[in-house]
A = this chain, B = another copy of it.
């Protein structure tokens, strides 16, 4: 099929599915995704540290490493970054703590994560699948969509 293959047997000129979005808009889609990827891991770390602090009272590098399924060296390096970003405070060989800013990020990340997770469950997705999907999706859900998801979930549970 050098050109067009059958495609419908008798179709008029252009029946090639949805059109391409205008260039500017299309570009903005990919840019937004790239931006999300820059903060994604940071958010997951901060959120996890917050959760460990809330549930365990402390957040050790070793716990983060096993929860994230990543080496301790990787965690150690990332902790320095979080420190440089002013999100955590860490004395060597001691538990981590979140700065004010880190706490704020942890809360908003956790809130968003929960909205997505509960939405997926309300949609009918199996819990463990919902958890996996939410872990990735959360970073790519706009505020607009988030609000709609929340409304949907509330409506469903009533």
Interface residues of A (CB under 8 A from B): 1-5, 7-8, 14, 16-21, 23, 25-33, 36-37, 44, 51-52, 54-55, 57-58, 66-70, 94-95, 110, 114, 120, 123-126, 128-133, 135-137, 139-142, 144-145, 148-149, 152
Residue contacts A-B, CB under 8 angstroms, 11 given = A1-B57, A1-B58, A7-B57, A16-B54, A19-B55, A21-B131, A30-B69, A130-B145, A133-B140, A133-B142, A140-B140
Could you tell me the distance between the alpha carbons of A129 and B132 in the complex, rounded to whole angstroms? 23
Could you tell me the distance between the alpha carbons of A28 and B137 in the complex, rounded to whole angstroms? 15
Could you tell me the distance between the alpha carbons of A123 and B152 in the complex, rounded to whole angstroms? 9
| CB atoms of A57 and B4 under 8 A apart | yes
**Chain B residues with CB below 8 A from A2, complex form:** 94
**Chain B residues with CB below 8 A from A58, complex form:** 1, 4
| CB atoms of B131 and A145 under 8 A apart | no
| CB atoms of A30 and B139 under 8 A apart | no
Could you tell me the distance between the alpha carbons of A123 and B120 in the complex, rounded to whole angstroms? 13
